[in-house]
Amino acid sequence: MAQLLILTSAVNSDVLPALALLSHGTRVIPAQPDHLVTAPDADLMLVDARSNLMAAKSLCQILHTTGSTVPLLLVITEGGLAAVSPDWGVDDVILETAGPAEVDARIRLAAGRVPRTEESSTIRAAGVIIDEASYSAKVHGRPLDLTYKEFELLRFLTAHPSRVFTREQLLSEVWGYDYFGGTRTVDVHVRRLRAKLGDQESLIGTVRNVGYRFNVQEQDGTRGIHPVRA
């Protein structure tokens, strides 16, 4: 029997109805970052993503980047599956309509996996070091004072060196597909990020009439280089 912690903003709603037919212990807390500080211990955490995908993604990423080793499962509708990607930082997804046998199996499998470690959460490319566990970034040893979105933008570009992304793609990957702001948001954050990179601002390259890329080839003087996860 596992102890489950369910994070949801729904009121008077069974996030995962099949749990009522299983013997796992459950605790429910609001799906808000400030409630994580006093959250009870649990074997697994379930995040309710049925109605607010953007908020659920943000919460999952916070849990992942704070170094939590508790397996993280996402409860979602079938229509929301297309929005989930690896950068959410979840271990598995469960449809809200899943039956008790499937839910129990997914809980057992998630609980038995080796937790993520800090060694697998570092990206290195062209002198930039992204530590996803501590949510920090350095360029040639110099710490960068980045906002949440600036960090996410740099992390995403660094993880895909030399690949060109349109503003629409960056908006979808970094801000979420349901973000209501325009693509100018991307330009503003790129400009701020370049300013903080200082004399390394050319790491963020512009491809005219297309978008942006991480210029690892120009910085390293090599071709076909990929980011290294320590």
CATH of the domain at 62: 3.40.50.2300
- Let me know: does 144 contact 137? Beta carbons within 8 Å: yes
Residue range(s) defining the domain that contains residue 133:
119-229
The mean pLDDT value for 138-158 works out to 89
Q: What is the pLDDT of residues 17-70, one digit of tens each?
A: 999 888 888 889 888 887 877 778 888 899 999 988 999 998 888 887 776 778
Query: What is residue 7's predicted lDDT score, i.e. its pLDDT?
Result: 92
Is the domain of 47 the same as that of 99? yes
Q: Which of 65, 85, 112 is the last residue in one of the domains? A: 112
Please tell me the pTM assigned to this model.
0.49
Q: Which of 79, 94, 112 is the last residue in one of the domains? A: 112
Sheet holding 211-214, edge to edge: 165-166, 211-214, 204-207
Amino acid identity at 212: Y
Q: Which of 67, 86, 112 is the last residue in one of the domains? A: 112
Query: What is residue 38's predicted lDDT score, i.e. its pLDDT?
Result: 76
Domain tally, the chain: 2
Backbone φ and ψ for 101, nearest 5 degrees, come out as: -65, -45
**What is the domain-level CATH number for residue 196?**
1.10.10.10
Q: How confident is the model at residue 229 (pLDDT cuts 50, 70, 90)?
A: low
Residue 177 clears pLDDT 60, i.e. is over it: no
In 3D, which of 55, 66, 54 has the Cα closest to residue 7? 55
Is the domain of 67 the same as that of 163? no
